[in-house]
Amino acid sequence: MAVAATTLSDNERFFLGVERSLTGRAWRDRLDGRGQTRALAIAQRANLPELLSRVLAGRDVDADTALAYLEPAVRHLLPDPNRLTDMEPAAQRLARAIAAGERVAVFGDYDVDGATASALLGRYFRQCGLDPLVYIPDRIFEGYGPNVEAIRGFADKGVTLLVTVDCGTTSVEAIAEAKRNGLDTIVIDHHQADLELPPALAVINPNRADDLSGLGHLAAVGLVFVTLVAVSRALRARGFWSATRPQPDLLAMLGLVALGTVADMVPLTGLNRAFVAKGLIGLRRRAHPGLTSLMDVARLSGPPEAWHLGFLLGPRINAGGRIGRADLGVRLLLEDDPVECARIAAELDRLNAERRVIEQGTFAQAEAEALAALGLEEKGAVVVTAQDGWHPGVVGLVAARLVERFGRPAFAIALAPGGVGTGSGRSIPGVDLGRTVRQAVREGILLKGGGHAMAAGVTLRKDALGAFRAFLDSTLAEHVQAVRRERALLVDGAISAGGADVALVETLARAGPFGAGNPEPVLALPAHVLVYADPAGEHHIRARFKAGDGRSINAIAFRAAAGPLGKALRDNRGRALHAAGCLAIDRWQGEPRVQLRLIDVAAP
């Protein structure tokens, strides 16, 4: 049975009285007094279960919109595409190219968002009768964004229209080269923009200074979807569609949109949440050969959920760009032959296993370097690690693991023999890394850099590492400290082991899909005995908690073995603990069982 938190003042909303857990965090009720009132109104007026009502209220849903929130619809949430600056000329130019059968090139980024955005655009062009040239640059030899050599290659092949997706906003020189070679360019991107934009026919980017659309939370693949809605409308006005040339079904392509949206960790709110919810339904139908093959090699059992996209499918698409052929992912997503899809998916699976080995070795070195730099008390606002010989394709993943390990923004930089390093940074909520990196470029500390609030890429000289560290510390120290001081665990409610059944998980899932911006409900188990806690592989801990009535629940603490949570579990076997985590259905051997994905424990 679900129970609410103890009522406390808004200033001291310690959940179950936990001011400091065994990993050093306070537990706070996600709902303040006003939120609790909102939860009660949702339960009464929408006739929803109490715990689900609390989850909705904790995500700023009110009683009037609760039922609609539980059924997110793309059609209802989709804005007029023309709210985006430059959309009208972009849609008209794309429609003209399709109607005239022009040679079109799509230049995408090498990450999952770029691959899915490129595949979505490529599939649409094909269904309209074009044979687009889809190009993904090599991460190591070409780097991020369009380059002059690739542009000249397009011109030699007769391309008249270039569309860049998930890149291009800062590519002033390359797009100027496209213009000199007679190519019109349309940029569809969501990365933060400088005041100077490239000389493109249109720059569709909700994060440019003069865009008032309010769509800055969309991933590039979401922006491509919105753009194609506008293109379909423009082609309809031209009388292009007919019985023999039907309009492409964009809703049938939402599996691609869902994958790119989740993998790029944009907020799963509003339209993004609808994209993912409807895209998951499409994935369950297994109608897309490439995505189906990817689910099969990932050994995905049961219906796909949002976290599967981020942790099982996304890394395999990324593996091609990180340590293999950069275009493997987009080739899979464009392919319709099941046999060829299975072959490409198997290769991506192999590359992903190789990537994991490289990443683990690199992270071990980066962690040791970070510990040495931060000292025993782990002081410092930002972690910056760099070494010769690191593979540039895994530094973003290593940076993400450093954030997880140290709880502050982190960079991992691969240094090349020529003395220039390329790296990636990842941030913590509330600290804008992209803006800081762009400032470092303006001040001459970095050769290149850009990104968005939670992730950034950098290029710098080896001898500038010290200056970069100092700049980050001086710029972000106060902000990071403030965020870390408030790093409480927000808890949605409390349950007993006996109440954690499949029906409850399915009920809470109605508030999903969960991810960035729409966190999974965190539930607390009050005073449950830790029956056992044993290693699971090298990095994880398996555990079981038993309630006073004898009912028990299995738990897993991912990547906790070497951290404070793992120590707390090992040291408290047989004792009663408050446990906090997220409920999930474990489908091991086909039998659905509820499991607690453990986040924290506290002494009662």
Of the candidates 412, 120, 404, the residue with the CA atom closest to the CA atom of residue 255: 120
Enter the pTM of the model.
Answer: 0.90
Output the pLDDT for position 214.
95
**Same domain assignment for residues 205 and 337:** yes
CATH number, domain at 538? 2.40.50.140
Res 375 pLDDT > 80: no
Whichever domain contains 463, its CATH number is 3.10.310.30
pLDDT digits (tens, 9 = 90+) for 221-253: 999 999 999 999 999 999 999 999 999 999 999
In terms of domains, do 443 and 568 share one?
A: no
- Give a yes or no: residue 2 inside a domain: no
Give me the domain span that covers residue 24. 10-58+492-602
84/217 Cα distance (integer angstroms): 13
| One domain for residues 124 and 252 | yes
Lowest mean pLDDT, pick from 139-143, 166-170, 257-261, 428-432: 139-143
Do 552 and 463 share a domain, yes or no?
no
Point out which residues pair with 553 in neighbouring strands: 545
Domain boundary among 437, 465, 485: 485
Gap between the Cα atoms of 401 and 381, Å rounded: 16
pLDDT band for position 121 (50/70/90)? very high
Overall number of domains in the chain: 3
pLDDT of residue 19: 94
- Evaluate if residue 11 carries a pLDDT over 50: no
Per-residue model confidence as pLDDT tens digits over 503-518: 999 999 999 999 988 9
Residue finishing a domain among 467, 485, 503:
485
Q: What is the pLDDT of residue 376?
A: 64
- Choose the weakest-confidence range: 102-116, 154-168, 306-320, 584-598: 584-598
Q: Tell me, what amino acid is at 225?
A: F
Q: What's the pLDDT at 323?
A: 85
Average the pLDDT over 300-326 and give the result. Answer: 90
Structure confidence at residue 380 (pLDDT): 83
The pLDDT tens digits of the residues spanning 405-417 come to 888 999 999 999 9
Across the range 185-201, mean pLDDT stands at: 94
Tell me the mean pLDDT in the region 192-212.
94
Residue ending a domain, among 485, 502, 528, is 485
Strand pairing report for 27-29 and 133-135: unpaired
Q: Say if residue 39's pLDDT is above 90.
A: yes
Give the ranges where 209-286 is alpha helix by DSSP (H): 220-237, 254-263, 270-284
Q: 3 pLDDT band (50/70/90 cuts)?
A: very low
Q: pLDDT-derived band of residue 482, with 50, 70 and 90 as boundaries?
A: confident
In this structure, the answer to whether residues 478 and 515 fall within a common structural domain is: no
Do 297 and 207 share a structural domain?
yes
Quick one: average pLDDT of 535-555? 95
Mean pLDDT value across residues 41-54: 97
407's torsion region: left (phi>0), alpha (psi -120 to 50) or beta?
left
Question: Is pLDDT at 368 greater than 50 in this prediction?
Answer: yes
For residues 147 and 167, what is the distance between their CA atoms, to the nearest angstrom?
11
Q: Are 593 and 585 in contact (CB under 8 A)?
A: yes
Q: Are 498 and 551 contacting, i.e. CB atoms less than 8 angstroms apart?
A: yes
pLDDT, tens only, 555-590: 999 989 988 999 999 999 999 999 999 999 987 666
Quick one: 505 and 470 in the same domain? no
Across all residues in the chain, what is the average pLDDT?
A: 93
The CATH number assigned to the domain holding 241 equals 3.90.1640.30
- pLDDT score for 536: 93
- In terms of pLDDT, which residue wins out, 485 or 67? 67
Percentage of the chain modeled with pLDDT above 90 = 84
Residue 424 lies in a domain: yes
Q: What is the pLDDT of residue 5?
A: 44
Residues sharing a CB contact under 8 Å with residue 16, sequence separation 6 or more, in sequence order: 5, 6, 27, 491, 494, 524, 526, 578, 602, 604
Same domain, 418 and 397: yes
Residue 370: inside a domain: no
- The answer, yes or no, to whether residue 4 has pLDDT greater than 60, is no
Strand ranges for 439-565 from DSSP E: 448-452, 455-461, 489-491, 493-494, 523-536, 540-546, 552-557
Task: Report if residue 138 sits inside a domain.
Answer: yes
As a whole number, mean pLDDT of residues 437-449 equals 94
